[in-house]
Amino acid sequence: MEKVKDIKWNDGMKVSDLTERMGNIGFQATELKKATDIITEMKRSGAKTYFTFTSNMVTSGLRGLFAQMIKLGIVDVVVTTTGGIEEDIMKATGENFLIGEYRTDDVALHEKGMNRIGNLLITNESYSKFEDYMLPILKKIYGKKKRLTVTELLREIGLMLDDEDSILYQAARKNVPIFCPAITDGSLGFHLYMFQQDYPDFVVDVVRDFSTLLSSSSYDDKKGVIALGGGVSKHHAIFGLLLNGGCDYAVYMTTSRTYSGSMGGATPNESKTWGKVKVDANEVSVIGDVSITFPLVIMRAMDVMKKEGLIKDE
């Protein structure tokens, strides 16, 4: 067993050094350090890594970090929600989101055409510009192919973007599939619906996309999941892994607790009862705000991976 050690400040301490030392603090700090070790082991073992996150994380400043992970080959498959897709596109086309306050006059914000996500703000104008951008994009895609899966649709959009900090841009160029099973649950879904009214033979096939998810790994592959938050993005990935024998590595990071029975609060041990995580899997659940915990985890993992030659900082 490890011993508890006091942590102290050192002048010039690096993020990776801080995360390393947190392993001897105890409580969630120790779990956080364990998460970095498991993610690094995923890469060492050659495990196919599934990365899931909810849309609010793309609203925040984590988006560029997610794109960088794809660029560096740390993840092989992405599963997210519609909001994360549309806000990635918004940022890639020049829209800026603002930082506001948790305690604010929401009626006044509504009257100003501002939409609040926690302490972040998105204007109605950004959504209007998104609509103007998407119509010609969908027409171009329709001209190439009238029936396609969600992953195919998102790859086509990613190839038309010009922003290296974009998740879709990097995924399209690195051939990393992005799954979004609830594609209609947001502004993008509404635009797809409206487009289909004018072009009834335009079909986005969600069911066939599930077949793509299942074929993205095999029963014999080593598999790992990094799940930030819960909901459909987390469950879609681990359900697909269940049908391929479950995952060998699992890192869950969330603010939810297990007591409500939610997907976000479900621990890796709970997932073992379903076979989504193997009984002997290397796993951890980190409780805390991902905007704080995840940068500490992944940046130390990146440092270790680079030292071991597992990634190259391009």
Whose CA is closest to 189, among 199, 204, 178?
204
Neighbour-count burial of 30, counting CB atoms closer than 10 A to its CB (0-12 exposed, 13-18 middle, 19+ buried): middle
Among candidate residues 97, 85, 24, the one with its CA nearest the CA of residue 60? 97
| Length of the chain (residues) | 314
**Cβ neighbour number for residue 43 with a 10 Å cutoff:** 22
CA proximity to 5, closest of 28, 22, 17, 19: 22
The residue type of 122 is I
What are the tokens at 205? 């096939």
For 232-291, give the DSSP string. Answer: HHHHHHHHHHHTTT-EEEEEEEES--GGG--TTT--HHHHHHHTSEEEEEEEEEEES-HH
Rounded distance, CA 67 to CA 50, Å? 14
Q: Can you say how many angstroms the Cα of residue 123 is from the centroid of all Cα atoms in its chain?
A: 23
Question: Shortest CA distance to 154 belongs to which of 112, 206, 193, 119?
Answer: 206
Q: Which residues are catalytic?
A: 276
Answer for the pair 179, 78: CB distance below 8 angstroms, yes or no: yes
CB-neighbour burial class of residue 179 (10 A; exposed 0-12, middle 13-18, buried 19+): buried
